[in-house]
A and B are shown apart, each in its own frame.
Chain A
Amino acid sequence: MSVIVMLIIIGVVVAGGFLAAFFWAVRSGQYDDTVSPSVRMLFDDKKPENKEVDKKENNPEDS
């Protein structure tokens, strides 16, 4: 029967790990704004080196 005690302890420790992760996420401000990051990840950041190429791509109305 003591195996169940072990399992429960392991279970609670694993859940506790997730709880700690949640605490860390909240504390570091990840839940302060849930809208902007969802938009931000869709932006393509371009490197300034290929400026010429990008300009053409970015102005569809020019072509």
Chain B
Amino acid sequence: MSSTHENITPCYHCGEPCEEELIEYDNKTFCCQGCKMVYEILQENDLCNYYDLQQSPGITLKNRDFKEKFAYLDNEDIQQQLLSYASDTLNKVVFYVPAIHCSSCIWLLEHLDTLRPGIVRSRVNFVRKEVSIDFDPRQISLKTVVELLATVGYEPEINLESHSDNKKHRSQRRLMLQIGLAGFSFGNIMLLSFPEYLGFEGLNPELQRFFSWASLALSLPVVFFSALDYFISAWKGLRQRYMNIDVPIVLGILTLFGRSLYDILTASGPGYLDSLSGLVFFLLIGKWVQSKTYESLSFERNYKSYFPLAVHRLQNGRKEVVQITELQAGDLIEVRNREVIPADAELLSEQANIDYSFVTGEAATVIKSRGEHIYAGGRQIGHPVQLKIVKAVSQSYLTQLWNTDTFEETTRYDSLIDRISKYFTVVVLLIAALTGLWWYLHDPSLLLNAVTAVLIVACPCALSLATPFTLGNAMAILGRHKLYLKHMNVLEKIWYITTVVFDKTGTLTRGSSGHVHFHGRLSADEKILVAAAAAASTHPLSRQIAAELLPAQTLQPTRFHEHEGQGLEAEVSGRIIRLGSAAWTGATPPDNNRQTRVYLSIDDQPRGYFTFGNVYRQHIEQAIATMQKHYRLVVLSGDNEGERANLEKIFPANTPMVFGQEPAGKLAYIRQLQQNGEQVMMFGDGLNDAGALRQADVGIAVAEDVSAFTPASDAILFGGSMPLAGRFLQLARLSRLVIYSAFAISFLYNVIGLSFAVSGRLTPLFAAILMPLSSITVVAFATFAIRGLARKLKL
């Protein structure tokens, strides 16, 4: 939407322009009844502080109607799944509320108890966008709680899968404890090693023994608690005959500990316990950084979150609420306005008006009549319809697409670090063996000393820090520009991409605000009439028309009727406006129509039609220009060829363009590319690209609204950031360079360390300086290099 809104009053509650309605209340303007209602609720309960903390903090309530939507929450089975604690007097529940976005949100949600008696306590976790609510089930039901949340604009996303992540929570706390302990031991052992650092020769031997033993005692928890996860991971890897990076780390830790134990027991030296605890401390911090980046970006979702969890089943003339997984072929269900059709079904009602925008990204709705087959994933717009389930949920269209063999790829992705570590361990062992052999021949007394020194100093901790810090920083930079990666591995996969495939609708073009053209003639007065009629409808196309016409004055239709699936009829200032299909307005449609059209008649006179063109994203050609240097580009579109000429202006000559592709066709096309040895990246949108996005080596879902992502994708890109995509890929490629350079630095330290170790001259003091120094250099280099490069790319 454009600058035309600047002179429109923003809504006091949600800040959106009041373009369709303007309600004045209490000297404030509201864009819809919903927003005004929230304001009233807050005012009555003395919670207007909400508006002081942040300007227009609310969430728009336009087009929200949930009369029966949450009825399924009265079902006991569902309640049991959702409640984390239940007794007669107190229930606890945690909701994921994607709308939480500012401090006002926290404030309001934590004052729910003043809004409604029965709510005992509510607490927000801002980072996780969760609100945990304790309520008294005798006074308020779960359904009412959810309705209250939805009324004030914080509709929770209820997903029966989402309550299993307690485990993750606990492992995060465990990591904190491990870091704390390692830090404690590291500090204290360093303190005890001070005489050593200062080369204090005249130290009382008894005291020295005491220091050594104290260090040993302090290091035990580091080895057996803080470093435990490395042992487990290395062991698991080895059992699967797989050499992961943790194997050489564990080797290093064990050698350090064993050598120190030996030195202390035989009183032959102070050992390397300070290096050991420092090493573990730095490694754990790297791990923590890594898990922090994941936490803020995790969007692992289940396809079930796209479908309503419960539906109304009609049985023996009664309506009941059942979970979708209980649905069977032959069941009758009722689907109401804006509800998603959960499974492939046959239409029993006279007519249905299905909005497949969920699946295809196309705004136009499809009219279905009695007996027709309706695919899962569409939404009914308008009156409630009755359907007969043809296939159970698990078999329907979308799930089939989801469950194709390609989605269950179990092949383990070898990250760069895994591949290096295979050789690394072998090489280190080889050097150790050669050193051992040499010393055995020359001076066997130094053999043990030299061999353990090699294993200690070769420990790849700097190596293992390079990747998380580089990629973690790159991910954070990309996240700032609204490209959210599922995993760091995605960046590594981008290094090898050779072909980039684009979907058209919603990716290259903007999804909802297409260019609206009127073919015919309208006077300025008539425009106002038509705009008033269109504005009264919630249909996506009507709204586009209303937004396009943008009348100078607002009129209210005196009579309005929307005939589901055909069009609308409105009486404005005594004239009859009809908008809708050709049949509805009495126009004659052309034979080979390639466009989405809405016809208009005024007083039963056909006046022409609206077409909805494709608007390409601004500056999209920048992204294409940057990408064409490095990649082969392909356009795959589900639409007809009407846009070929426009696309050819944006893309370089000879770009393959394939039109009229079904979802399965797109998937097959990408597989074909891959069979020809290409590494494919796909930018797509909508659920019907899910298969193709998943098949692609890197699938990026382009979404206007970040909460509307596709689970099959490797990354979500906010539509508005599409023009930056070229630079995103450049940064991803540069991250490889940074990692390699960091590896080089790390290897350099290893070479220096090894040269001392091999010659048997590695002292504990030297190790204590060298090892943390290498870690710190690598971390600093990785962080500054990637950030500097990003700044150079203007990211």
Contact = CB atoms under 8 A, between A and B. Distances in A.
Nearest to B12: A61
B67 interface: no
Tell me if B's interface is mostly helix, strand, loop or mixed: helix
Contacts of A44: 49
A46 B46 CA distance: 9
Residue in A4, A15, A33, A39 with the greatest tally of chain B CB atoms within 10 Å: A39
A62 B127 contact: no
Given A59-B48, A62-B27, A12 B125 contact: no
A27 B174 CA distance: 9
B442 interface: no
Contact of B126 (A4, A39, A42, A48): A39
Interface in A31-47: 31-36, 39-40, 42-44, 46
A35 B128 CA distance: 10
Contacts of A4: 207
Q: How large is the interface on A (under 10, 10 to 19, 20 to 34, 35 or more residues)?
A: 35 or more
Interface string A9-44: 001100110110011001101011111100110111
A53 to B, nearest CB: 11
A34 to B, nearest CB: 7
B192 interface: yes
A5 B184 contact: no
Contact of A12 (B207, B210, B214): B214
Contacts of A27: 173, 177
Given A26-B177, A31-B176, A51 B127 contact: no
B191 interface: yes
Given A19-B181, A39-B106, A12 B188 contact: yes
B187 A15 contact: yes
B560 interface: no
A32 B27 contact: no
Interface string B195-207: 0000000001001
A6 B204 CA distance: 15
B180 interface: yes
A61 B56 CA distance: 13
Given A12-B188, A31-B176, 17 more contacts: A1-B204, A5-B210, A12-B218, A19-B180, A19-B181, A23-B177, A26-B180, A31-B173, A32-B125, A33-B128, A35-B126, A36-B106, A36-B123, A54-B46, A55-B46, A55-B48, A59-B48
20 contacts: A1-B207, A5-B210, A11-B191, A12-B218, A16-B184, A23-B177, A26-B173, A26-B180, A27-B177, A31-B176, A33-B128, A34-B127, A36-B127, A39-B107, A40-B106, A43-B53, A48-B114, A54-B46, A58-B49, A58-B52
Interface of B: 26-28, 43, 46, 48-49, 52-53, 103, 106-107, 110, 114, 123-128, 169, 172-173, 176-177, 180-181, 184, 187-188, 191-192, 204, 207, 210, 214, 218
